[in-house]
Amino acid sequence: MSGNQHTLRNLQWIIWSVLFGMLFFYILETENSFAEACNYSINTVLYYAIIIYGNALWLMPRLYRKKKYLLYGGSVLLLLVGITFVRLQVQSYIWYTWIIKKPYHHFLKDYAYMFIIHSLLYVLSVAFRYTLDFFQIEQQQEKLLKQHAEAQLNLLKAQVQPHFLFNTLNNIYFVAQRESQATADLLEKLSSIMRYFLEQGPQHKISLADELDFINNYIELEKMRIRYPVHVAMNIDAGNGEFRLPPMLLIPLVENVFKHGIDKSKEDNYISIDLRITDRFHFEVKNTLPEAVRQSDMECGTGLKNLSERLRILYAGDFVLKSSRVGNLYVSSLNIPL
């Protein structure tokens, strides 16, 4: 439990305790017995709590927040009327059966007065719900700040000796150029990927061209470890090419194909990458699915789970991430706002 939640819970206990004490001593001082004071105070606090918590913790999250306004309004009215009737009946039954032992009949004004009191408590419960939301938002912000600080620390750790590594790769590249041009080309792509991690990775947003270069270099490096050629088709419709997006947002969909969707014993591996920008950004990856690989295998990796969590943080609910099997193809798609 966070510090804010702990404080809020303690504050609630204090408020209920103070309310109970005030009611108890008020009834006691008006020449009523100890039993009468206990009966009135316990019943009052109990039904107040039912109204406040019933609306704030149950009705508003399940009905009002889901825009079921008519059902919510009817449920609130039913709650207030029901609590008013039950409270007066139960309280009177205890009072006049075990305490003063005299019959008593409630009048309409008694119900009207109690209903007004309960309606005011309903308003208080709405304020309580928004107070809870405030603390939850504050807690989420603290969590995000902590995650950001940890990410920055991890990034700094990862950058301890990057330039030394680049210099070493450059030396190997010049040697490989004399011995094997293919090896030199692969080293150049690896160097580009590592430079992407160092220079583009920490940025909030990068150009779509840089992201696509990273994906192309990754594909070329992955293809070298597969016995047979992998047929890769890319269809890019990026409009004016000025779109910018968070780094490494697309690569999990491509990486998932090479981890789970390639049959190294076959020659007909196929990957299709489609990107188009209309009123939103659309990215789709299709690949042939080996017979031995189930759809659940494609979805079990941490890459797609991490991507989904990252999208939730970046775009709240304004994104679509889908993966499904269509015939002998596995299709993954991402849709985000511009």
Residue 162's CB is within 10 A of a number of other CB atoms, namely: 14
What distance in Å separates the CA atoms of residue 52 and residue 50, rounded to the nearest whole number?
A: 6
Residue 283: DSSP 8-state: E
Residue found under tokens 């041009």: 181
Residue ranges of the alpha helices (H) in 95-207? 108-158, 162-179, 181-195
**DSSP label at 179?**
H
Report pLDDT for 297.
Answer: 54
Residues of the chain predicted below pLDDT 70 = 1-6, 8, 30-33, 95, 97-106, 152-180, 184, 241, 265, 291-301
Written as six digits, the tokens of 64 are: 């009002």
Measured between alpha carbons, how far is 127 from 269 in angstroms, rounded to an integer? Answer: 59
pLDDT of residue 300: 57
Residue 163, Cβ neighbours under 10 Å: how many? 9
The verdict on pTM exceeding 0.75 is: no
Whether residue 332 contacts residue 277, with contact meaning beta carbons closer than 8 Å, is answered with: no
- Summarised one tens digit per residue, pLDDT across range 19-33 is 777 777 777 776 566
Closest to 72 (Cα-Cα) out of 84, 60, 83? 60
The CA radius of gyration of the chain, in Å to the nearest whole number, is 32
Structure tokens at 222: 């992955």
- Residues of the chain with pLDDT > 70: what percent? 78
- Distance CA(12)–CA(128), nearest Å, equals 10
- CA 100 vs CA 45, 104, 111, 130, 162: distances in Å: 21, 10, 21, 42, 85
Task: State pLDDT tens for residues 82-119.
Answer: 888 888 888 777 767 666 655 566 677 878 888 888 88
Q: What is the pLDDT of residue 284?
A: 92
Identify which of 133, 10, 1, 137 has the alpha carbon closest to the alpha carbon of residue 61: 133
pLDDT digits (tens, 9 = 90+) for 25-56: 777 776 566 777 777 788 888 888 888 888 88
DSSP per-residue string spanning 65-115: TTT-HHHHHHHHHHHHHHHHHHHHHHHHHHIIIIIS-------HHHHHHHH
- The predicted pLDDT at position 127 comes to 86
**CA-based end-to-end distance of the chain:** 37
Q: How far apart are CA 284 and CA 8, in angstroms?
A: 46
* Domains, the chain, with CATH or none: 3-155 (no CATH), 225-337 (3.30.565.10)
Q: In DSSP terms, which residues pair with 272 in a beta bridge?
A: 233, 286
Q: What is the pLDDT of residue 252?
A: 86
pLDDT for the residue numbered 282: 92
Rounded Cα distance between 318 and 311, Å, is 9
Judged by DSSP in three states, 272 sits in strand
